[in-house]
Structure formats: structure tokens, C-alpha cells
Structure 1
Amino acid sequence: MAAGAPDTTRQRILNAAVEMTTEAGWASVTMSRIAERCGISRQTVYNDIGAKPALAKALILRELEQFLAVVSAAFDQEDDFVAAIREATYGVLDRAQDNKLLHAVVSATHGADTELLPFLSSHSEGLLGHSTEIIHKHITRFDHGLTQPQADAAIEMMVRVVLSHVMQPTRSPDETADDMAWLMSRILAV
């Protein structure tokens, strides 16, 4: 949410759900507990959000919007395509390191509390679809030399690789971003 923007009931509900998820896991989140934490009625929670599956989707989509804002900023600030890929990758991975909700979802995948996981999957309305769509919008201003099918393949593969590093990092954000920039430079060289 932008600085100085009003804290809407919906935002308060989502913030409470994030807090509860990071404190005790998604299974502990109920509409009644959210209502109590926000000082509103349970019916207000249902009116603003819907049932728990809608809450899960709203949480993940809000987080996704924040990650994609980082990607958009990287593409808007860079004049070089490879540099934009590097900065977008770094920004996403750096943000992921400290994202409490993401850590709660990822750690839940190792247990039974996996209700949030489908929203991180590669379904077209999930993370992969939204991420590739945003990158497609940004790359049109670059002279990258890829055909549309080549750009589609490169973007999807890069998003999948970055998402795998978000879920299970193996190197620092800087190192992974350098690797992604190198990989894209090789793709463009061909």
C-alpha cells in the first residue's frame, strides 16, 4: 500500500491474516479471529473478502502485486534489457529473503498446512501467469531481437527459475541475479 494511503477495512483484514499466518500458520486463521483482531464483525470480513479460499487468494495476489512492482521498477529504470533482467531478479530475490508470509507458506509446504500453496502454483491465474504477463508488457520497449515465440519461452523459463530460487534459494540474490543476467546474455547472443 502506498505511503499515506488510507488503511481500508480490506487492508486491515489482509494485514491481520498475514500476521496470524506468520505467527501460528494458515490453519489458525479463521474469519472470527480476523474480525476480533481488526475490531470488526465476522460478517464484515465475509462482506469485504469472502470465505477463506478468497482470503488466501487475496493474500497471495497482494504479495504478488508487491513483487511485480519491484519487477516493473527494474524494467522502467534500466535502458539495457540484460541489466533490467538482472535488477528485476535481484529485487525479487532480495524482497523474498525477508518476506514473512512467503516464508510461512514455504515452510508450510513441508507440513500439512498447504492451503495457500495452490495460489503459488503455475496455474494461468497464479504467480507464473501474472509474472510473465507483466514482463511481456515491459520488454516491448527493448530491442532484444527475440521473436515472439522465443521471448515467450525465455520469459517463462526465467520466471520459473527465479520462482524456484524464491522458494528454495541456493545462492545470494546478487549471485543469482548475475547468473540470470549471464543466461539472458547467452540467449540473446544466439
Structure 2
Amino acid sequence: MVPTARESLLEAAGAALAARPWPAVRMVDVAAVAGVSRQTLYNEFAGKTGLGHALVRRDAAWYLDGVDRALASPGGCAARLAEVAEWTVTASHARPLVRALLTGCWNGNLPVPAGRGVRPGLPALGPAELLRSVRERADAAFAPAEAEWAQRCELAVRLAMSYLVAPAEPPGPGSLELLRLFNGAGRTA
């Protein structure tokens, strides 16, 4: 399937952001890498701010898609929660925007979500909104008889978020062993 101009522009902007701070990302360069005109970029996003907001939304959706995959994975309830926690840490290390969304720590090197620092009082995508989305996904993923596991999912993500602020040494798979112990991943629940 051929990506749309919008998808190509978001990929190009994401690659540019990975290589340099957001203030140094130039629209003309993003359009050239995407293989479209600057006018197409402006038609899609209305400017750099709109492109930045779309990048933030894209990375939030990417993170939540990973949460969905972890919740749908085979295994017991505790193992799925551990996967959600591990995905949270992995995703935050892979994409700075996901890390900022999960921690609420934004700096001048990243585009900001709509409403943050632009229009006070307008709700912005951030940790509370992501946690709410994770909880809703967990509510849908677990059977009514497993409702307590949906509640534990938010706790698992909050614990994983603590690893973003105070990472374990060395970070990586297994660094969330504490969560596996907490959830009793060895049990068959």
C-alpha cells in the first residue's frame, strides 16, 4: 500500500525530529524528504505547529496500539500487565514524544501537544489522558470476572512510568522484574 502524503510527511517529520531538535526542523526539508511540495505540507497541516501536533497525536496512537497488542497477547492476566509495563518503558526509550507524553516533561527540543503552552485552559494530551486511555483499553480487554486486572493495569503503567523518571541500571528487558513480582506473573491468573 502506498502511503498518503500525510503519512509520508509525518514519517519525514519524525525522522527529522530524531536527527535534530524541533526548532531546527525545516518545513522545506520535511516536504523534500516526503517527496511532496511545501504547499502540500501546508495544505495538510497548516504549518509547523499543526505538523508538530499531528506528530504528538501519531506517537500517542503508536503507544496505545502497543498497549492493545500487549493486552491481547497470550498468557495470564499478570503476564499481559507486565507486557504493558515493558512496552511503556520500551516505547518511551524509542520515541522522545512518547516519553514526554507519559511524563509530562516537555522541553524546547520537542513539538508540544495542542493546548500545551499555546492556549491556556485548553486540555492537552498528556499523562492523565494516556492513563485514561490505557484504563479504557484494559477494561475492554479483560473479562468481567477479571475486572480487578483492569484496575491493576493503570498501576502497572504508573509503576513503569517511575522507571522513566528513575531508570533501573541497566535498562532493558528484565529491568521490570519488580513489576512481574508485584503482579505475580508466575501465577496462572
The alignment's TM-score, normalised by the length of structure 2, stands at: 0.70
Q: How does 1:92-103 map to 2 (within 5 A)?
A: 92-97=88-93, 99-102=94-97
Alpha carbons 1:25, 1:104 under 8 Å: kept: no
Matched, 1:133 2:136: yes
Q: Which amino acid aligns with 1:136?
A: D
SS at match of 1:21: helix
Alpha carbons 2:14, 2:55 under 8 Å: kept: yes
Alpha carbons 2:21, 2:110 under 8 Å: kept: no
1:170 corresponds in structure 2 to: 168
1:12 corresponds in structure 2 to: 8
Deviations 1:17-37 (A, max 9, x none): 111111121111233332233
Compute the displacement of 1:104 (Å).
9.3
Q: Which amino acid aligns with 1:71?
A: V
Determine the C-alpha separation between the residues in 1 that align with 2:26 and 2:85.
35
2:84 corresponds in structure 1 to: 88
Compute the displacement of 1:47 (Å).
1.9
Alpha carbons 1:132, 1:155 under 8 Å: kept: yes
| Unaligned ranges ≥5, structure 2 | 117-123
Tell me the percent identity: 22
Compute the displacement of 1:114 (Å).
4.6
Alpha carbons 1:82, 1:181 under 8 Å: kept: yes
Determine the C-alpha separation between the residues in 2 that align with 1:167 and 1:32.
35
Q: How does 1:1-190 map to 2 (within 5 A)?
A: 5-97=1-93, 99-102=94-97, 112-116=108-112, 121-124=126-129, 127-139=130-142, 141=143, 143-144=145-146, 146=148, 151-152=150-151, 154-166=152-164, 169-171=167-169, 172-185=171-184
Aligned residues: 172
| CA-based RMSD | 3.3
The alignment's TM-score, normalised by the length of structure 1, stands at: 0.69
Alpha carbons 1:132, 1:159 under 8 Å: kept: no
More helix by share: 1
